[in-house]
Amino acid sequence: MGLCWPRPLRSRLPQPGGARSAQGVLSSGATAGSPGRQALGTRRPQFDLPVISVVVPGVLGWPSRQQSLMPQISAWRHAVRTVMAPGRGVAACGAADVSATVNLLTAQACVAGVLPVVNSGLGGFGDHYSLFVAVTTRTVEYRADGLSMVGHLAVPAGDDRRPAVLVGPEGPGLNDVQRRRADALAELGYVALAFDLHGGRWFTDPQEILARVMPLLADPDRMRGIGHAALDVLRAEPRTDPDRIAAIGYGAGGAIVLELGRGGVELRAIGTVNAMTTGRPGEAARIRCPVWAGVGSQDPIVPREQREAFAAEMQAAGVDWRIVVYGGALHAFHHPPTRADQRVLPGVGYHPRHAQRAWRDIIDLLTENLPVPR
């Protein structure tokens, strides 16, 4: 796997932990440094070519090869972030007979905001990731739910006010998957804050997750407190247009953004995945924006009965609502595994194709209700 240039120019991937110049491509004095979380645009060597083509060769044995590919994925991520010039597109392609592997790489390097792509040919995110946009990211600390929360803020280049998106993480907490979602939104021109649930912790033990999350989901006021604290941070960012904010969330984070709507917060749109919680009677009438909800058809944590109750609540309140059911998908189908030995609850499983579709649906929701000024 590598960055493939039309002949005669060709770049070489920097290896994780080291530095390597792109032969004949980087401008004078520019080097590709070690992989890490760097703001796009901090160093911008110029290219003579308009497009980078990222070629993923056939790699069989998914998911057993997943961990062995992580160094290449990391190098791929860093090379593109380091050497891309403004306005240059990226294309990803792979053999059709290894679509599972290609989808895995695409999901890890594209869906979570690592790598913008155009014309992927993979049913991926080409429609929404056509150009690189310089992004600055930083950690933000704030208090909520009696904890010191650690959020991830991503801001596009420029000095004008921008529409903003609040991003709620899954029950285990905030990790790099959610951070990359915020980065992806910033690359599209939004100010984005991925908020924290557990005071900087990310749970890996299913029983610890349940012990922390279930009491939270049973307490709408606690959920709203966490959401409001994050919303205050997002509104305080000078680049945020406080009158143009949407909220999206996954699992517990989705339940929190729904509670913000039920609490009467002015939002332009609410999007949730695997989060069709119902609220206190009558409070859904306070939701004054479109609500989109995605769920897997085989999700035992959000079964048919819960979906129907959620739909009835939205309908009775006169909300502009939509539900998309992804056939065959389980709970948390949108979240790629973080390691080979990861323990998950029964009924939880990653579905690369539906993960891509759900992300496109969320971007469509934002494009319709919170367009980025051009």
pLDDT digits (tens, 9 = 90+) for 46-66: 323 233 333 333 333 333 344
pLDDT-above-90 percentage for the chain: 56
- The pLDDT of residue 75 is 53
| Residue 92 β-bridge partners | 54
Distance of CA 313 to the CA centre of its chain: 28
- pLDDT tens-digit profile of 275-287? 999 999 999 999 9
Q: What is the pLDDT of residue 313?
A: 98
The pLDDT, as a whole number, for residue 84 is: 41
Pairing of the two strands 240-250 and 291-296: unpaired
Which band of pLDDT confidence, cut at 50, 70 and 90, is reported for residue 205?
confident
Amino acid at 37: R
- Selected residue with higher pLDDT from 347 and 117: 347
pLDDT of residue 337: 79
Tell me how many degrees the CA angle 277-279-280 measures, rounded to the nearest 5: 155
Residue 259 has a pLDDT of 98
Computed over every residue of the chain, the mean pLDDT equals 73
CATH of 135-369, one of 3.40.50.1820, 1.20.910.10, 3.40.50.920, 2.40.30.10: 3.40.50.1820
pLDDT at 352: 92
Structure tokens belonging to residue 106: 């695409």
Question: Which class for 334: exposed (0-12), middle (13-18), buried (19 or more C-beta within 10 A)?
Answer: buried
pLDDT over 80 (residue 127): no
Structure tokens at 235: 């509104």
User: Please, where in the chain does CATH 3.40.50.1820 lie?
Assistant: 135-369
Helix axes of 206-217 and 220-236: crossing angle, nearest 10 degrees: 90
Q: Using 50, 70 and 90 to split pLDDT, how confident is the model at 347?
A: confident
